[in-house]
Structure 1
Amino acid sequence: MKLTGARNLVAAVAAVALVTTACSSSDKASSNPGGQGTAPAPGGTLTVFAAASLTESFGVLGKQFEAKHPGVTVKFDFEGSSALVQKLTNGAKADVFASADQANMDKATKAQVIDGQPVVFATNKLTIAVGKGDPKGIKAFVDLAKSGTTVVVCAPQVPCGAATKKIEQSTGVSIKPASEEQDVKQVLAKVASGDADAGLVYVTDAASAAGKVDKVDFPEAAGAINNYPLGVVKNAPQAALAKEFAEFVRGPEGRAELGKVGFGTP
């Protein structure tokens, strides 16, 4: 009888321990419905500073990236690359910087606001945007210097402006612009509205405004190809997401979307 009682006591203790363990496991499972080791879903806002010429393509890529990362919002600041560098050096918070040329990315790198080595993800070149039907009969780059033709260009510190200057120097053609704009979209808007007869923009911008402007391609543009580098901003609030976005842009989906509007591959 004593042996049987001892066995019963051991069995009772084991049963209590089993129930306690089960309850403990149940409590953990209820506090972590995703299962043991499941990390919380990522969230937050990814801030991307990008050249104005990337507006349409990055807008689409941002939506695609959000779809792949539930809870994440991609916020863009599209401006001239030089203005974006100035913001970064003045302490503006961002996660990613995509420039329309290497020169402005070099400025950001020299100012130590970029983490690691930026990578070129696309190329672009200039074309001449003209009014529908090309009422001024502009057929070549030299026609932009004709008297009575109102031409707008990007300011020299802006990548599209630097490319314009390079073509002027290589061709010996001197353009006397009615205005120098702070980004390529402002040039395009003046041509589309009829405030200018012609403007030097990227082929991608002319494609995005199809139906509003016509374009005149010219061979000299091949001598001023712009490389587009992308880098993660130093001390980025969303550093891990920033690296993922950079990889996404350089990946097959990014290349496909950029190619749709005329960006070249590096």
Structure 2
Amino acid sequence: MLEFLSDGVRIAYLDFPPEGAAGQTDRHKTPVLLIHGFASNHGVNWLFPQWVKTLTQAGRRVIVFDNRGHGRSEKLYEPEAYRPQTMAGDAARLLDHLGIARADVMGYSMGGRIAAHLALAAPEKIRGLILAGIGIHLIDDDGPPSGVAEAMEASSLEDLTDPKQRMFRAFADSTRSDRRALAACIRGSRRAMTVEEIGAVAQPTLICVGSEDDIAGDPLALAALMRDARALVIPGRDHNRAVGDKLFKEGVLAFLESLQPAV
């Protein structure tokens, strides 16, 4: 992976050009920046579910990166290093590093929270916004369920009995994450957006949530609070199984095609 320094923090990223004939004819299209979720990384969230392939074959330049504390990016152990605005700053500085003035941005779960903060702090950098795996809990909840930090710090999965604690811990173990860094991330990033903040996000927005997702919250309720948002409910999918869903991908591609070309 490539690396750059975001305010002194080492961030790992990959930059994929458009593929084949689609790439040759559609190079004018706005790049897409993908922001992964908690305890995940660029590979688990975007490469393995074929998101990068889907987008590059549609003629898109795609940038993926590992959030601080995740994947191959630098691990930090103080909660203050993971405030949502700080993590959104990493995404903004990556675009600057690559010379990208404006991008379409999609975030999943925690990545959706980061993307929303980026849209609020640097609206000029975003043409279209996709908030996936996050609905109304963006504003009426401040992050993953309480106890997830403690789940990261438990000696083993067998020590946990709460189903959601076990789910997050098992996922962190499966991605071989630095659980101490994740505990700090949870504690530092827990902040709900206000109704006023989400109402100030003006970019065209698509909100995508599985119909069986009990972590994200209602996407329709969130869309109703935003200036220019629509919701896509992904049938029969929960928080984890929605990521690579075919209808999810089709909805995102249609949304991107509906946006006005970048000037």
TM-score range, shorter chain: 0.3 to 0.5
Which structure has more helix as a fraction of its residues?
1
Q: Which has the higher contact order (CA 8 A, sep 6+)?
A: 1
Q: TM-score, normalised by structure 1?
A: 0.33
Which structure has more strand as a fraction of its residues?
1
Q: TM-score, normalised by structure 2?
A: 0.33
